[in-house]
């Protein structure tokens, strides 16, 4: 019951990694687990799955007013985890800036707004955890804006670890994790892609949302970690 009595807010908690973090926080005894996202249906179904201590709130992280309104609902919170992001890959030739903008608006500005409005409500032992992606280090063709967003959140979280201290601020850099996000990326080729990837990874499988939630729980609980980027990738960076 490491989180007994704590309030944990997971922005992006309606699915995938965020939902696994919310479930883990609830399992660790948090007295309030709040999940936030845009889709009410997704949030309701996630809340029902998590259990009694969960509450769900609407938010669009790219809109500062919406993020402010979310955090005004809390007198205090102990741990913030932000997984919400849109990710749009596109070659630069023929790219559409307006279509790509949400990738930066959500991960970078969304993270910034969440930190800004959560921090005044956080006290002793508090932490913030953001999520980047391997493309900050290992880009692929078409990832320029995604890579920029991932690099930016890693750099920003280190700066915030200084500015918001003693609140601890860290980032998780996941490898490929089986979540609904992959549907948009790989469509019908998803299963084949994941099977091929699994055979190439040192751990012999792709990531599960629980793998990343485990890292988020570590970052919430370890009072000596701040300004870190924790890579959880199944050894992908080695191959």
Ligand X SMILES: NC(=O)c1ccc[n+]([C@@H]2O[C@H](COP(=O)([O-])OP(=O)(O)OC[C@H]3O[C@@H](n4cnc5c(N)ncnc54)[C@H](OP(=O)(O)O)[C@@H]3O)[C@@H](O)[C@H]2O)c1
List residues near ligand X by CB under 6 A. 12, 14-18, 37-39, 42, 59-62, 83-87, 106-107, 131, 133, 174, 176-177, 179-182
Report the nearest approach of ligand X to the CB of residue 1 (Å): 26
Report the nearest approach of ligand X to the CB of residue 31 (Å): 23
State whether residue 231 is helix, strand or coil: strand
- Closer CB to ligand X, residue 104 or residue 119? 104
CA atoms of 80 and 82, how far apart (whole Å): 7
Report the nearest approach of ligand X to the CB of residue 168 (Å): 20
Nearest to 232 by CA among 165, 134, 157, 162: 134
Report the nearest approach of ligand X to the CB of residue 89 (Å): 11
Report the nearest approach of ligand X to the CB of residue 72 (Å): 16
Report the nearest approach of ligand X to the CB of residue 4 (Å): 26
- Closer CB to ligand X, residue 5 or residue 235? 235
CA atoms of 63 and 200, how far apart (whole Å): 40
Report the nearest approach of ligand X to the CB of residue 35 (Å): 8
CA atoms of 22 and 35, how far apart (whole Å): 7
- Closer CB to ligand X, residue 4 or residue 97? 97
CA atoms of 232 and 212, how far apart (whole Å): 7
Q: Are 38 and 62 in contact (CB under 8 A)?
A: no
- Closer CB to ligand X, residue 164 or residue 232? 232
Report DSSP letters for 15-53, one per residue: SHHHHHHHHHHHHTTBSEEEEEES-HHHHHHHHHHH-TT
- Closer CB to ligand X, residue 32 or residue 104? 104
As given in the structure block, the two tokens for residue 175 are: 């490898």
- Closer CB to ligand X, residue 4 or residue 141? 141
- Closer CB to ligand X, residue 11 or residue 32? 11
Q: Of all residues in this chain, which one has the CB nearest to ligand X in the complex? A: 16
Q: Give the CA angle between residues 82, 137, 237 to the nearest 5°.
A: 100
- Backbone dihedral angles phi then psi of residue 127, each to the nearest 5 degrees: -145, 155
């Amino acid at each position: 019951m490491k989180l007994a009595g704590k309030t944990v807010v997971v922005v992006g908690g309606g699915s995938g990694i965020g939902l696994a973090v919310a479930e883990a926080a609830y399992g660790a005894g948090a007295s309030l687990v709040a999940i936030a996202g845009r889709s009410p249906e997704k949030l309701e179904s996630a809340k029902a799955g998590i259990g009694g201590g969960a509450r769900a709130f609407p938010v669009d992280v790219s809109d500062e007013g919406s993020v402010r309104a979310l955090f005004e609902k809390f007198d205090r919170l102990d741990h913030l985890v932000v997984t919400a992001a849109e990710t749009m890959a596109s070659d630069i030739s023929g790219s559409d800036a307006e279509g790509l903008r949400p990738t930066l608006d959500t991960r970078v500005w969304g993270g910034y707004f969440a930190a800004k409005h959560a921090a005044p409500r956080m006290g002793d032992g508090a932490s913030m955890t953001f999520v980047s992606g391997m493309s900050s280090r290992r880009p692929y063709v078409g990832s320029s804006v995604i890579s920029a967003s991932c690099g930016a959140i890693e750099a920003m979280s280190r700066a915030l670890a200084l500015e918001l201290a003693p609140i601890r601020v860290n980032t998780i850099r996941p490898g490929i994790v089986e979540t609904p996000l992959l549907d948009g990326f790989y469509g019908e080729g998803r299963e084949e892609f994941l099977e091929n990837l699994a055979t190439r990874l040192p751990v012999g499988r792709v990531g599960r949302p629980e793998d990343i939630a485990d890292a988020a729980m570590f970052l919430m609980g370890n009072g000596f970690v701040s300004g870190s980027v924790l890579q959880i990738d199944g050894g992908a960076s080695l191959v």
